[in-house]
A and B are shown apart, each in its own frame.
Chain A
Amino acid sequence: SAVISQKPSRDICQRGTSLTIQCQVDSQVTMMFWYRQQPGQSLTLIATANQGSEATYESGFVIDKFPISRPNLTFSTLTVSNMSPEDSSIYLCSVRGGSSGGSYEQYFGPGTRLTVT
């Protein structure tokens, strides 16, 4: 499977500020996704990062709050904007397809633990 790295691994931020999370994959992948996992909860899909075009957001998530970029097949960023304590969560990059493995199998990065004070 592909090796996925995320930066930063954790951060503590003040409310009202923004944080950009980077996701780097060691091989080209077809699909990249961003998930959120709140404490004690399962994973919720935020959006699908589309190369060279606007991301596809799930219900309840909007571009102004979570702008996403994907300039190529190995890299994506997620920005959490105008943060509030409710944004405290683990944010996970995930990939599917390409040389990462079978076209259906999906793998996760190590996550970014965000705390907003």
Chain B
Amino acid sequence: QKEVEQNSGPLSVPEGAIASLNCTYSDRGSQSFFWYRQYSGKSPELIMSIYSNGDKEDGRFTAQLNKASQYVSLLIRDSQPSDSATYLCAVIRGGTSYGKLTFGQGTILTVHP
């Protein structure tokens, strides 16, 4: 089982729709969860962090965490063509700030006009 696994892509949604990206992780002791966005040819950009069960909203982005199910998701509302990128789920294993940040394989999102 991979440490961090994302739903297989690529994902294509029409402009204005909700894009849903999903991620599961294997280490039940993990406490810190992140979503990065990576445009082609660029480095990853941190867009959301979540540490507690439930939802966390930031503009058009909502991160959802369910530790019991070891599941974290990212919803992008009113998707725009500029949201087209690879989205990486990442988890710090263990419960300290010194753990290793481990990435999923990424999901390519395309928002078409």
Contacts and interface: CB of A to CB of B under 8 A. Distances in A.
Interface in B56-113: 88, 90, 92, 97-98, 100-106
A110 interface: yes
Contacts, number: 48
A104 B92 contact: yes
Nearest to B101: A106
Contacts of B43: 90, 92, 108-111
B100 A105 contact: no
Interface residues of B, number: 21
Contact of A45 (B98, B100, B104, B106): B100
A97 B44 contact: no
Give the one of B34, B42, B102, B103 with max A CB within 10 A.
B103
B49 interface: yes
Interface in A1-41: 1, 30-31, 33, 41
Interface in A83-99: 90, 92, 94, 96-97
B97 A97 contact: yes
A78 to B, nearest CB: 15
A42 B103 contact: yes
Given A42-B88, A43-B103, A103 B97 contact: yes
A114 to B, nearest CB: 14
Interface of B: 32, 34, 42-46, 49, 51, 88, 90, 92, 97-98, 100-106
Given A45-B100, A105-B49, 12 more contacts: A41-B105, A42-B105, A43-B44, A43-B88, A58-B100, A92-B43, A94-B101, A97-B97, A104-B97, A106-B101, A108-B44, A109-B43
23 contacts: A1-B46, A41-B105, A43-B44, A43-B88, A43-B103, A45-B100, A58-B100, A92-B43, A92-B44, A96-B97, A96-B101, A97-B97, A102-B49, A103-B97, A104-B49, A104-B92, A104-B97, A105-B49, A106-B34, A106-B90, A108-B45, A110-B43, A111-B43
